[in-house]
């Protein structure tokens, strides 16, 4: 998989995309992530990429030309399955979307900034808009990092135990059941006997029942879906 990220603040992405699972995925050459500074495509002598809104609304707007040039330079080189814009009014990001994106070959993620981007970019270049939650960030860089992390870990070969990703919360619209490890007893608090029984069938039944119970208690909206 190749992911190209367009941003005005590439420094914000250097740390989250160069450590842990993503770092190992890049070292294994399973995923290739490139960060592009939109200012490099600006024809303004000061490398500006924003301007005042025509409506007179407060806040600056990212201009169309540098974004268009950045996207066009990439799409001339290869075909992209998705050109994503991180936006507060995009579709709500969830595990189902992460699963879908994880099987794509090439993705562009455009990080929003300032008051947003010129609407013409959204109309003519973007084919998917994603929001990671009902709140506003300073820019879309953190959202892009979240999207990258959530999809890269699903790609076969990235995580050594691939079944681990398939049993994460939200994969079946359920939260994960509780998990335990050694010691068996701590401060008088015991690991449930069923997990020590070795009875795989009963353990799986217990895990499913616990997942249902936790979801009912903490996220009943998932069961409604």
Question: Hey, what are 73's tokens?
Answer: 């330079």
Report the topology of domain 167-224.
1.10.1270
Residues with Cβ within 8 Å of residue 83, at least 6 apart in sequence: 71, 75, 107, 108, 110, 125, 126, 127, 128
Give pLDDT tens digits for 88-117. 999 999 999 999 999 999 999 999 988 899
Q: Give the CATH superfamily of 2-152.
A: SPOUT methyltransferase, trefoil knot domain (3.40.1280.10)
pLDDT tens-digit readout, 118-136: 999 999 999 999 999 999 8
Q: ω before 183 within 30° of 0 (cis)?
A: yes
Instruction: Indicate whether 166 pLDDT > 60.
Output: no
Query: pLDDT at residue 162 above 70?
Result: no
Domain edges within the chain: 2-152, 167-224
Task: Give the pLDDT band (50/70/90) at residue 225.
Answer: confident
């Amino acid at each position: 998989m190749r992911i190209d990220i367009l941003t005005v603040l590439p420094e914000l992405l250097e740390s989250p995309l160069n450590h842990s699972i993503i770092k190992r995925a890049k070292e294994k050459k399973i995923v290739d992530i490139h960060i592009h500074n939109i200012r490099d495509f600006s024809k303004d002598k000061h490398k500006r990429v924003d301007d005042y809104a025509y409506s007179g609304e407060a806040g600056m707007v990212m201009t169309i030309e540098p974004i268009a040039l950045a996207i066009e330079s990439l799409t001339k080189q290869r075909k992209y399955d998705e050109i994503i814009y991180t936006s507060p009014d995009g579709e709500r990001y969830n595990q189902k979307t992460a699963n879908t994106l994880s099987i794509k070959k090439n993705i562009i993620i455009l990080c929003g900034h300032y008051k947003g981007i010129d609407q013409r970019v959204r109309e003519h270049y973007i084919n998917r808009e994603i929001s990671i939650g009902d709140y506003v960030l300073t820019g879309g860089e953190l959202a892009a990092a979240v999207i990258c992390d959530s999809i890269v870990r699903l790609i076969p070969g990235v995580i050594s135990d691939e079944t681990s990703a398939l049993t994460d919360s939200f994969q079946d619209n359920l939260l994960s059941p509780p998990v335990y490890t050694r010691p068996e007893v701590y401060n008088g608090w015991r690991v449930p006997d069923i997990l020590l029984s070795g009875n795989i069938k009963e353990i799986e039944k217990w895990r499913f029942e616990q997942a249902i119970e936790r979801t009912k208690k903490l996220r009943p909206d998932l069961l409604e879906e």
